Amino acid sequence: MEPIVQISLDVTNIQEALDIAAVAVEAGVDWLEAGTPLLLGEGLHAVAALRKAFPDHPIVADLKTMDGGYLEAEMMAKAGATHVVVMGVAHQATIRAVVRAANDYGISVMGDIMAAPDPVACARMLEANGVHYIIVHTGFDERGEDPARTPFDHLREVVQAVNIPVQAVGGLSIEQAAQMPKHGAPLVVLGAPLVIDKQEFKPSTNREELLAIIQRVVTEVKKQA
């Protein structure tokens, strides 16, 4: 698939999310992600606000669903999400429920393999259960305890194991994120700490700097088409 640039809105209120999203859209970002902190802080209202402000952009709801799969996916689809995230370590019944809801509402499912004991087997299982994308994700807390951990730990093996698009996120520098299509992961994510000040969940205070960073990444990613 053609490279896609997605921005993760890892903030805790709608206005901050809209402010970052406006910069990202101006910079050429393709997909907007309602990050988990945003969903915890504002729920489906954040998704609805993003859909109203950006009617033509795909919106990923990073639910990290572990149970109640159909209802969670249904709620986000009705609010305007085009993609939802289910965890690969969830019960397979939950994964199938999310996929069923996605099929019913015409949206897509991203399967996150974070914390899976066997990332390759998890990715294959997710694909077999009908998810549309795989997320190779090194978690925030995991990286906090072991900064050396990155998606590169098992990215190549996962890319080789599945036939659906792969996204890599967590512990990547701006330069590494921009090069992801060359590593077989065409869904490029920009998120904390790239657009977040230090360790705080708040938008970067320098709008022009943020715009320049995102534009640079978008240009680099699109060159790899």
Render pLDDT for 143-174 as a digit per residue (tens, 0 to 9).
Answer: 999 999 999 999 999 999 999 999 999 988 88
Whole-model pTM: value is 0.94
Q: Domain range holding 100?
A: 4-222
How far apart are alpha carbons 193 and 59 in whole angstroms? 20
Largest CA distance in the chain: 46
CATH of the domain at 34: 3.20.20.70
Question: pLDDT (tens digit, 9 = 90+) per residue, 64-86?
Answer: 999 999 999 999 999 999 999 99
DSSP 212: H
Count of domains in the chain? 1
Alpha helices in the chain (DSSP H): 14-27, 36-42, 44-53, 69-79, 92-105, 119-128, 140-145, 155-161, 174-178, 207-222
How far apart are alpha carbons 113 and 115 in whole angstroms? 6
How far apart are alpha carbons 99 and 111 in whole angstroms? 10
Q: Which residues contact 26 (CB under 8 A, 6 or more apart)?
A: 211
Q: Which residues contact 175 (CB under 8 A, 6 or more apart)?
A: none
Question: pLDDT (tens digit, 9 = 90+) per residue, 109-140?
Answer: 999 999 999 999 999 999 999 999 999 999 98
